[in-house]
Amino acid sequence: MDAMATGEGRREGVRDRSRVCKSKEAEIKRINKELANIRSKFKGDKALDGYSKKKYVCKLLFIFLLGHDIDFGHMEAVNLLSSNKYTEKQIGYLFISVLVNSNSELIRLINNAIKNDLASRNPTFMCLALHCIANVGSREMGEAFAADIPRILVAGDSMDSVKQSAALCLLRLYKASPDLVPMGEWTARVVHLLNDQHMGVVTAAVSLITCLCKKNPDDFKTCVSLAVSRLSRIVSSASTDLQDYTYYFVPAPWLSVKLLRLLQCYPPPEDAAVKGRLVECLETVLNKAQEPPKSKKVQHSNAKNAILFETISLIIHYDSEPNLLVRACNQLGQFLQHRETNLRYLALESMCTLASSEFSHEAVKTHIDTVINALKTERDVSVRQRAADLLYAMCDRSNAKQIVSEMLRYLETADYAIREEIVLKVAILAEKYAVDYSWYVDTILNLIRIAGDYVSEEVWYRVLQIVTNRDDVQGYAAKTVFEALQAPACHENMVKVGGYILGEFGNLIAGDPRSSPPVQFSLLHSKFHLCSVATRALLLSTYIKFINLFPETKATIQGVLRAGSQLRNADVELQQRAVEYLTLSSVASTDVLATVLEEMPPFPERESSILAKLKRKKGPGAGSALDDSRRDPSSHDINGGVEPTPSTVSTPSPSADLLGLRAAPPPAAPPAPSGAGNLLVDVFSDSPAAQPGLGPSPEEAFLSELEPPAPESPMALLADPAPAADAGPEDIGPPIPEADELLNKFVCRNNGVLFENQLLQIGVKSEFRQNLGRMYLFYGNKTSVQFQNFSPTVLAVQTKRVASQVDGGAQVQQVLNIECLRDFLTPPLLSVRFRYGGAPQSLTLKLPVTINKFFQPTEMAAQDFFQRWKQLSLPQQEAQKIFKANHPMDAEVTKAKLLGFGSALLDNVDPNPENFVGAGIIQTKALQVGCLLRLEPNAQAQMYRLTLRTSKEPVSRHLCELLAQQF
């Protein structure tokens, strides 16, 4: 046959002509001549036969692949789709897959041709059509064929190759547009493809099911037993049993890996037989890893190790088989010294996860020397980073000092890319496992000495807070930092720490002539001129503290403050501090000075911000080995939310998220007075926004700050349905239509966005104890135009007026103290009025204060619960509602909502473990209302039955309505 009669011949024709060209320009000239020839053929009077169309379309396709633009020939390619010859149809589909845009006007014509091929029942044509749908993947194609492809997939008469193509095509459409793929009866049938005789169909089906079950796990949960069965057959088979699917003596490695990943989408099987068979499979894989290799080629080891690592991932995911976890750890330990860098990296990464399991933590610790050696000797920086991660994960009280010491030693030569992360980890470990806090101080000062540029503010803020809070370490810290400052080259962060500690506790070492007050001052002032503005400002604060601690230094320090370089400093912050400190030291009496400059009080204990910073740097899940309580990683408070040095809050742009809901909030700043420029910094942290108190306990401090307000107090909110006489303007309109929906969102939570439109965002942060509460309302201007005559009013409450102008992008805050006098059914109304661009704006909302906010959880034994339940047996004391679930029925979500509602959840009370039982007391000033509840979910019917019993009839009905709307 003539060479030009084949596709290869046609491509060679163009390729040979382009090869003889001496330059790029000559090639372009030759290609343009060829394109002109093809264009003339397409436009000629004589109709082209199928072969000629195929030949010229194939040439166009090859010219396009050479990098030249093709702007014609698309219709000819579409015409080829109607041919009954395979080669012509193939070239047409290939051209369309490569050159036709998903938004092309030809898509409808192409869809018609595809529909004809899918209906033809010719398996070759059906596969070509399915491949084209997957390659183009446009939404229009998805809408046209998303319902047909599942039918082809599960049809009994479909060929294996068609099923395989249909599964992969459906997977492509689902990834592109999940909403287009309907879940129906085919979902149950597609699971049974895991039992198909054809391994290609099984492999494609596993990929599809793995993707689908992540969004709809309940629809595909029956796949677990089938996947275990198929995996068992593969693992127990010899390489000769699956000869067509054996890769270098490893039976079906790709399918094995896919099955193991599918099983990681579900918890361990509940059926004992299935679980036993799966454990047997996993043990078999671990046993085969110990066998000598059947081939020395790298492909064999790659396939074998791929299955092994996916098996270990499944074992870690289940975290329920101690024997398997320890065996997995020992197997990974053998890879730590493997000659392959990739295997060492993967072993370290997997062992990081194993270290967080209680069953395998001790086994991981046995490899500490090997990991430390990897940290020192590995040439690949990514492997060294994983080694540092593993040391961090395996650290506990028994090895903390060894690990911290090795990480500090490594830090001196560590790559710059990972120094900051190692600094954070060392700081966290030193704090977490510090029994002797003098060791902690030494460790942090060593960090600053070795890698001062990478020690963030969170690190040295934290050491200052711990020193401030611990009397037993203050003298040692002062002595140590004084010695560190004597080094000729001293990092600026060391100066900051030294300035703060000596300013607070320098008197503890002043008795030693070597660290007398004048010596301390001279040492600090010798660093002054080499520091940044922020550090100089801190040192000026230290100087004024010295005047209070050491009166003998007053004249010297006043001379420094009086110097022209300070009083006329170009930086307004330094100039203002110098003027104010000089005046304070000159005018104030000794007693006044001692009061103003007294020692900093202890900081309230909260989550370390260093851990929060590491979580943000590493992403979700970081720090899990240390953060036992799994608290919110977005917390930015540093041991109490008050930094040792002042900071300011900047005003964001009008398009910024004023409440910090769509991004991590900025670092916490000291509370500032409410005003037009005072933006919300950390609305949704667990800490209250008020200044930290020094009460004996958090609850007592909260209640002492919220003593019942006097009737004439301007901040008293009486949670009572009867409005006060001066409730507000008479023309306040009714609540907006969605007010009830917005209110329902806050029944089980206290923080969030109450209302948001294109102009205004209203955030709420509240806290309730007994019959008292405090609520913060944050009004954010989302525009760039100032709000005029801004007036938020809470009906039945006399409140202080907020600023009447709110600048663009700014925010104002309103604080309400709340006292519940008696049970109530209707929440107070919040009215907001302002003028925007000269036009009046107003809206009325329901304030998120419902009776359950004053719910105090009560623990009860089963006997006490049933006794009290019988006592509340009058018909008017019970409210019951049977309703259909509006949300997916998830036990953990239900539990969280009931706890958010305010009741205590009682375990081992209801005979049915699926039911939820709770108890609590509603605290009001007038009386206490006991409440018992029982929630019975029916997963099959997707229904709930909720029963509440209280000592007051209106309360029972109201609580029942409130809680039912949450499910």
By C-alpha distance, which of 162, 172, 92, 180 is closest to 134?
172
Three-state secondary structure call for residue 700? helix
CB 831 within 8 A of CB 793: yes
Tell me the pLDDT band of 501, cut-offs 50, 70 and 90.
very high
Tell me the two tokens of residue 716.
């008293």
User: What is the rounded CA–CA span in Å between residue 133 and residue 176?
Assistant: 12
pLDDT at 615: 62
pLDDT at 91: 92
Residue 57 assigned ligand-binding role:
yes
Residue 58 assigned ligand-binding role:
yes
pLDDT at 759: 85
Does residue 720 carry a pLDDT above 50? Answer: no
Half-sphere CA count of 610, side-chain side, radius 13 A:
28
By C-alpha distance, which of 334, 313, 335, 337 is closest to 324?
313
Residue 115 assigned ligand-binding role:
no
Does residue 281 carry a pLDDT above 90? Answer: yes
* Range in 469-478, 527-536, 681-690 the model is least confident about: 681-690
Tell me the pLDDT band of 668, cut-offs 50, 70 and 90.
very low
- Which amino acid is present at 688? P
CB 957 within 8 A of CB 876: no
User: What is the rounded CA–CA span in Å between residue 145 and residue 269?
Assistant: 35
pLDDT at 308: 93
**DSSP E strand stretches across 195-323:** 246-247, 250-251
Residue 55 assigned ligand-binding role:
yes
Contacts of 786 (CB under 8 A, 6+ apart): 805, 806, 807, 808
Q: Mean pLDDT across the stretch 699-718? A: 40
pLDDT at 728: 45
CB 125 within 8 A of CB 119: no
pLDDT at 217: 84
> Can you say how many angstroms the Cα of residue 821 is from the centroid of all Cα atoms in its chain?
40
By C-alpha distance, which of 308, 248, 317 is closest to 281?
308
Three-state secondary structure call for residue 61? helix
User: CA torsion, points 523, 525, 526, 529, in degrees to nearest 10?
Assistant: 160
Using one digit for the tens of pLDDT, what is the confidence trace for 726-771? 344 445 678 888 888 888 888 888 888 888 888 888 989 888 888 8
Show the CA angle centred on residue 750, arms to residues 744 and 755, nearest 5°: 60
pLDDT at 343: 92
**To the nearest whole number, what is the mean pLDDT of the chain?**
80
DSSP 921: E
Using one digit for the tens of pLDDT, what is the confidence trace for 167-223? 999 999 988 888 888 777 788 888 889 988 889 999 999 999 999 888 888 888 889
Q: Mean pLDDT across the stretch 513-533? A: 91
pLDDT at 663: 34
User: What is the rounded CA–CA span in Å between residue 492 and residue 532?
Assistant: 8
Using one digit for the tens of pLDDT, what is the confidence trace for 232-260? 999 888 766 677 788 888 998 999 999 99
Mark out the alpha helices in 355-399 (DSSP H runs).
Answer: 361-365, 368-377, 381-394
Residue 952 assigned ligand-binding role:
no
Q: Mean pLDDT across the stretch 411-439? A: 87
**DSSP string over 210-244:** HHHHTT-GGGGTTHHHHHHHHHHHHHHS-TTTTGG
Query: For residue 249, is it left (φ>0), alpha (ψ between -120 and 50) or beta?
Result: left
CB 443 within 8 A of CB 411: no
Global confidence as pTM: 0.58
Residue 376 assigned ligand-binding role:
no
pLDDT at 452: 85
The secondary structure element, H or E, covering residue 316 is helix 298-318
Are β-strands 772-781 and 760-769 bridged in parallel, bridged antiparallel, or unpaired? Answer: antiparallel
Q: Mean pLDDT across the stretch 509-535? A: 91
Contacts of 164 (CB under 8 A, 6+ apart): 198, 200, 201, 203, 204
DSSP 682: -
User: What is the rounded CA–CA span in Å between residue 435 and residue 848?
Assistant: 45
Residue 884 assigned ligand-binding role:
no
CB 423 within 8 A of CB 408: no
Contacts of 513 (CB under 8 A, 6+ apart): none
Using one digit for the tens of pLDDT, what is the confidence trace for 2-34? 443 444 454 455 555 555 678 888 888 888 998
CB 846 within 8 A of CB 735: yes
By C-alpha distance, which of 169, 116, 175, 128 is closest to 147?
169
Tell me the two tokens of residue 550.
């050491």
Start-to-end C-alpha separation, the chain? 73
Using one digit for the tens of pLDDT, what is the confidence trace for 138-165? 888 888 888 888 888 888 888 999 999 9
The secondary structure element, H or E, covering residue 439 is helix 437-451
Q: Mean pLDDT across the stretch 876-904? A: 86
User: What is the rounded CA–CA span in Å between residue 679 and residue 662?
Assistant: 15
User: What is the rounded CA–CA span in Å between residue 510 and residue 479?
Assistant: 10
Beta bridge pairs of residue 811: 677, 780
Does residue 488 carry a pLDDT above 90? Answer: no
Q: 952 vs 622, which has greater pLDDT?
A: 952
Are β-strands 829-836 and 855-857 bridged in parallel, bridged antiparallel, or unpaired? Answer: unpaired
Q: Mean pLDDT across the stretch 114-124? A: 90
Which contacts (CB < 8 Å, 24+ apart) does range 935-944 have? Answer: 935/894, 935/898, 935/963, 935/967, 936/912, 937/885, 937/889, 937/891, 937/894, 939/889, 939/914, 942/884, 942/885, 942/889, 943/882, 943/883, 943/884, 943/885, 944/882, 944/883, 944/884, 944/885
DSSP 877: G
Q: 283 vs 796, which has greater pLDDT?
A: 283
Task: Return the HEC string of 120-182.
Answer: CCCHHHHHHHHHHHHHHCCHHHHHHHCCHHHHHHHCCCCCHHHHHHHHHHHHHHHHHCHHHCC
- Which amino acid is present at 699? E
pLDDT at 351: 92
pLDDT at 622: 46
Does residue 311 carry a pLDDT above 80? Answer: yes
Tell me the two tokens of residue 819.
């006292």
Tell me the pLDDT band of 45, cut-offs 50, 70 and 90.
low
Using one digit for the tens of pLDDT, what is the confidence trace for 84-109? 999 999 999 999 888 887 777 888 88
The secondary structure element, H or E, covering residue 774 is strand 772-781
